Amino acid sequence: MSKKMALPSHQAGFTLVELLVVMALMSIVMLAMIGALRGMGQTQARVDQRLATMDEFWVGTGFIRATLGRVSARRSEVLGADGKPSIQFEGLPQSIAWLGVMPAREGAGGRYFFRLALEPVGDLPGLRSRTVLMARFLPFSGRSGALNWSQADSRILVNDVQQFSVEYEDRSEVPSVWKATWDSKDRMPDAVRIGVITSSVEWPPVSVPLRLMPQGASAGSGVATFGGGAVQ
């Protein structure tokens, strides 16, 4: 009589409970990895935003210091209310205009009329409207008078600006004082202090001492370039 082979009492494999435990552990690991990747992406986005903000700050302050640091006290050919010509400088709480020198590295160089003020942009369909700090500049042609800033070349210095302020230092008073408006038509302020607050950061105050340029400095006109691109 042939003997039958004995069968094992149970076959090797995973039970349902073991499979559920493994799947639960894998889900936890995947959730942890997704959270880590999301955190890395957010960190990288914050780093990129921080670098962009720093670049905007250094480029903006560099342009302001370079152009506002050398100003001309040339008088306008348009007579004021008192019948006398005034220096070509306008100092208001939220805008400033002056006659200065375009740095050679920024373009053709020479004397230009400059203006800093807040302006809205993004009125085109599909573009988000925002307020920016705009620099406008017109080449000085040797004659002065009323300026049409709408026809001037422009450059956005700072995006998404929530607040922009300008103050003017008067050292003729003791002690020296900072004024919100510069009313004198016969002399320049000794320094200008600019404050900028954007949607993401508040700039440290930017103080620029004003140095008068020689009256015989060459007048210039032409094409100004920024970052390798020409602005006509």
pLDDT digits (tens, 9 = 90+) for 16-44: 777 788 888 888 888 878 777 776 665 55
Distance CA 130, CA 114 (A): 22
Find the mean pLDDT for residues 183-194: 91
pLDDT tier for residue 56 given thresholds of 50, 70 and 90: confident
Instruction: For 19-73, give the DSSP string.
Output: HHHHHHHHHHHHHHHHHHHHHHHHHHHHHHHHHHHHHHHHHHHHHHHHHHSEE--
Instruction: Return the exposure string of 77-98: e unless at least 16 CB atoms fall within 10 Å of the residue's CB, then b.
Output: eeeeeeeebbbbbebeeebbbb
Decide if pLDDT at 188 tops 70.
yes
Higher pLDDT, 87 or 227: 87
Query: Is residue 178 pLDDT above 80, yes or no?
Result: yes
pLDDT at 170: 94
Higher pLDDT, 51 or 103: 103
Q: Which two tokens stand for residue 158?
A: 């700072």
Which of 88-97, 175-184, 194-203, 208-217 is the least confident region?
Answer: 208-217
Q: What 8-state DSSP symbol labels residue 18?
A: H
* Report field, pTM of the whole predicted structure over 0.85: no
Q: What is the mean pLDDT of residues 162-176?
A: 93
Task: Indicate the average pLDDT of the chain.
Answer: 77
Question: What is the spatial distance between Cα 215 and Cα 47, in angstroms, rounded to a whole number?
Answer: 46
CB atoms within 10 A of CB 185: 15
Largest CA distance in the chain: 138
Residue at token pair 């302006």: 119
Going from N- to C-terminal start, the domains of the chain cover 55-213
Whether the per-residue pLDDT at 221 is higher than 80: the answer is no
Selected residue with higher pLDDT from 89 and 29: 89
- What span, in angstroms and rounded, lies between the C-alpha atoms of 188 and 91? 9
> Which position has the higher pLDDT, 48 or 94?
94
Is residue 112 a contact partner of residue 220, using CB atoms and an 8 Å limit?
yes
User: At 55, which amino acid appears?
Assistant: D
Nearest to 223 by CA among 214, 215, 232, 212: 232
